[in-house]
């Protein structure tokens, strides 16, 4: 792929560096607090969570992602086979300056597994980390736009519900897309980026990438280029395979985009001892590494949104 054009004098790191430790920490501590009651799909805690996300987008001046400018895409209870349950995806949107009809989707799931026997499962890493990263990435793009460097392509910031009970929110969006799938250039999906996999022998600045080369070599090459240019993290492809026994490629929301021939990258830190346990709390997040990983997604999105060409399929 050719490099970005027109923004040669703009250092994407100027905006990546607006993604700060303090903001990530403060917002995650609230989002993964007991007040959110574990954010189980359709629960009062999940309703509080989506209202909080909406308030953050409104505060930063990022429009809602529905065509009427609203923020919620309602997922009806019938979709979950639970008529008494409704839930919401949350959509933020920044319109492209040159190719607004082409849309980059950056996603994270907003839900977790709720409470059990009175114990709140806070889900700080899973996926509070992705949720708040998405907010901070949106804010960085908004600041660039305010400086006259809005993304050339549109960006949809998509917080999906129902991931933990079957990828329902992303499935619903993929079947009822606000922006046509054929105009969706890629999906960058963030699910658990705040901790360290104990299987890693060294505490290096790593992130697992899954799916980057499965549908588009262009996307993989751009991802590698963006990392080398800006972040120099250790991109680990251990789980990047359809035959991976863990089946991670099939287990998060990017898969509902990949099924529709949208190139994807899944950003993931691996599992750990607190995965789906009450110990997944904000105090255990590796905040400096969390910041770097969030910045990596931002600069990759920056290159995708501003590149001369969209990624081509294999």
pLDDT tens digits for 208-254? 999 999 999 999 999 999 999 999 999 999 999 999 999 999 999 99
> Of 24-33, 123-132, 193-202, 209-218, which range is least confident?
193-202
pLDDT of residue 8: 62
Sorted by where each starts, the structural domains of the chain and their CATH numbers stand as 7-306 (3.40.630.10)
CB 163 within 8 A of CB 253: yes
Mean pLDDT of 242-270: 97
pLDDT of residue 5: 46
pLDDT of residue 3: 44
Bridge partners (DSSP) listed for residue 63: 93
Q: Are strands 99-109 and 184-190 parallel, antiparallel or unpaired?
A: parallel
CA 9, 10, 15 angle in degrees (round to 5)? 165
Mean pLDDT of 275-288: 98
pLDDT of residue 1: 41
Spell 270-295 as b/e; 16+ CB within 10 A means b: bbbebeeeeebbbeebbbebbbbbbb
What percentage of residues in the chain have a pLDDT greater than 90? Answer: 93
Residue 108 clears pLDDT 50, i.e. is over it: yes
Residue 81 clears pLDDT 60, i.e. is over it: yes
Which pLDDT band holds residue 7 (cuts at 50, 70, 90)?
Answer: low
What is the number of residues in the chain? Answer: 314
d(CA 67, CA 279) in angstroms, rounded, equals 39
């Amino acid at each position: 792929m050719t490099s970005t054009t027109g923004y040669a004098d703009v250092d994407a790191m100027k905006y990546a560096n607006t993604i700060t430790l303090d903001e990530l920490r403060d917002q995650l501590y609230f989002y993964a607090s007991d007040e959110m009651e574990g954010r189980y799909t359709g629960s009062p805690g999940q309703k509080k969570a989506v209202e909080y996300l909406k308030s953050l987008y409104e505060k930063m001046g990022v429009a809602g992602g529905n065509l009427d400018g609203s923020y919620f895409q309602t997922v009806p209870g019938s979709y979950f086979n639970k008529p008494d349950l409704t839930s919401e995806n949350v959509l933020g949107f920044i319109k492209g300056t040159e190719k607004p009809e082409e849309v980059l989707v950056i996603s994270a799931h907003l839900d977790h597994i709720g409470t059990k026997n009175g114990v709140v499962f806070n889900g700080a890493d899973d996926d509070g980390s992705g949720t708040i990263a998405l907010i901070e990435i949106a804010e960085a793009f908004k600041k660039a736009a305010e400086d006259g460097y809005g993304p050339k392509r549109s960006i949809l910031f998509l917080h999906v519900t129902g991931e933990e009970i079957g990828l329902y929110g992303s499935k619903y969006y993929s079947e009822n897309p606000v922006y046509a799938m054929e105009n969706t250039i890629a999906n960058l999906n963030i699910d658990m980026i705040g901790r360290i996999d104990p299987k890693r022998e060294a505490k290096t600045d790593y992130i697992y990438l899954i799916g980057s080369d499965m549908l588009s070599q262009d996307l993989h090459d751009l991802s590698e280029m963006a990392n080398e240019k800006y972040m120099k993290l250790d991109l680990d492809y251990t789980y990047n395979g359809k035959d991976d026994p863990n089946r991670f490629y099939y287990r998060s929301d990017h898969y509902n985009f990949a099924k529709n021939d949208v190139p994807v990258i899944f950003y993931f830190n691996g599992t750990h001892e607190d995965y789906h346990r009450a110990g997944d709390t904000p105090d255990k997040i590796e905040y400096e590494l969390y910041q770097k990983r969030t910045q990596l997604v931002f600069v990759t999105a920056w290159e995708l949104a501003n590149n001369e060409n969209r990624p081509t399929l294999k």
